[in-house]
Amino acid sequence: MNDYSHLIREHVDLSDFNTMGVSAKARYFARVLSVEDLRKVLQFVHAEKIPVYVLGGGSNVLFIDDYEGLVLLNEIKGREIQNETEDHIQLKIGAGENWHDLVMHCVSNNWGGIENLSLIPGSVGAAPIQNIGAYGVELEEVFVSLEAIEITTGKRKVFTKEACQFGYRESVFKRELKGRFVITSIVLELQKHPKVNTSYRALSDALMEKGIAKPTIKEVSDTVIEIRQSKLPDPSKIGNTGSFFKNPVITGKAFEALQKKYPQIPHYPAGEEVKVPAAWLIDECGWKGKRIGDAGVHTMQALVIVNYGNAGGAEIWNLAQDIRKSVKEKFGVELAPEVNVVG
């Protein structure tokens, strides 16, 4: 018996491991609780010469087909204070911890910085992959470093913030280093005397409506949760992966041409360029609330594709392609998926 055989299962249905609720099968599947487990599973992968796909909460993946390699479910836990000063606290967190639980832990200790990122589904280890962001804050603002194991060599590597090359829903792990590392822990720096960030319009409006002029981080977190619950579908009730596409960032020139034709088009500055909400473009093409078989566009948020029950990954993907095509035809804008497509 090999050192790893107790960790490996075969022909595992992935429906419960992706929030879209797509029923693809993994040829091999392993749940790892520690770096030691991870190293053992990598021995198996090397012996069998098969590819690996790392999963956390499965809330940003779309399996279009069965996966012929090994799906590795990262459940490496742990939370420890790495460093503390008068003003800051540095936390090291295992990749398999739940992101929202971490946010709640920080809010209850009055450690500020990630309260705007309340209720984002998924694991801590996936947060750097797309530099998660919401309500005016992105992970990179509190990020210090991460530790990862290289899949081909088993070597441990530390990545600083700069090395992660964060951008809007982007990092080096979605580009040059895609599929090359398993993130095992991350380090964040939080404020012990928090300054809240209420720059996001929907958040400041909601706080104002509640008559809260000087919110605490708990009030910011509660309000973000309320806004999210009012428009995003709960994956435990209806399959989805949040925003299916990224918001396109276009040149000022391209935007001016669009604005001439559609004066009401919402937009936000993005450095030298302009960010346009994909939800608006999709909505204007008439997709909101549309349903084709069990695949559909959410009734409250046009950027969210939902699985009403038994839609397969390919069915969801076909709907996404149709949406993309109509946005391109009407506005000349390309939508890029935010979701990580497998297969």
Active-site positions read 169, 243, 338
Judged by beta carbon, residue 160 or residue 230, the one nearer ligand EPU is 230
Report residue 38 CA to chain centroid gap.
22
Euclidean distance between CA atoms 299 and 252, whole angstroms: 31
Of these, 97, 115, 189, 338, which contacts ligand EPU (CB under 6 A)? 338
Q: Which does 283 bind (CB under 5 to 8 A by kind): ligand EPU, ligand FAD, none?
A: ligand EPU
Q: Per rule CB under 6 A, is residue 307 in the interface with ligand FAD? A: no
Q: Per rule CB under 6 A, is residue 19 in the interface with ligand EPU? A: no
Helix (H, G, I), strand (E, B) or coil at 270: strand
Mention every residue, 6+ apart, whose C-beta is less than 8 A from residue 61: 18, 20, 55, 241, 339, 340, 341, 342
Q: Per rule CB under 6 A, is residue 145 in the interface with ligand FAD? A: no
Report 277-296 residues binding ligand EPU (CB under 6 A).
277, 279-280, 283, 288
Euclidean distance between CA atoms 242 and 119, whole angstroms: 11
Of these, 112, 113, 121, 215, which contacts ligand FAD (CB under 6 A)? 121
Report 219-258 residues binding ligand EPU (CB under 6 A).
242-243, 246-247
Buried b (16+ CB within 10 A) or exposed e, 224-240: bbebbeeebbebeebbb
Cβ-count burial of 335 within 10 angstroms (0-12 exposed, 13-18 middle, 19+ buried)? Answer: buried
Least CB distance to ligand EPU at residue 289 (A): 9
Token pair listed for 329: 């035809």
Report 166-195 residues binding ligand FAD (CB under 6 A).
181-183
Least CB distance to ligand FAD at residue 36 (A): 16
Judged by beta carbon, residue 51 or residue 293, the one nearer ligand FAD is 51
Buried b (16+ CB within 10 A) or exposed e, 85-103: eeebbbbbbbbbbbbbebb
Euclidean distance between CA atoms 57 and 55, whole angstroms: 6
Judged by beta carbon, residue 185 or residue 307, the one nearer ligand EPU is 307
Binding footprint of ligand EPU on the chain (CB under 6 A): 134-135, 202, 242-243, 246-247, 266, 277, 279-280, 283, 288, 301-303, 338
Residues contributing to the site for ligand FAD (CB under 6 A): 19, 53-61, 74, 95, 120-123, 125-127, 129-130, 132-134, 181-183, 232, 235, 240-242, 340
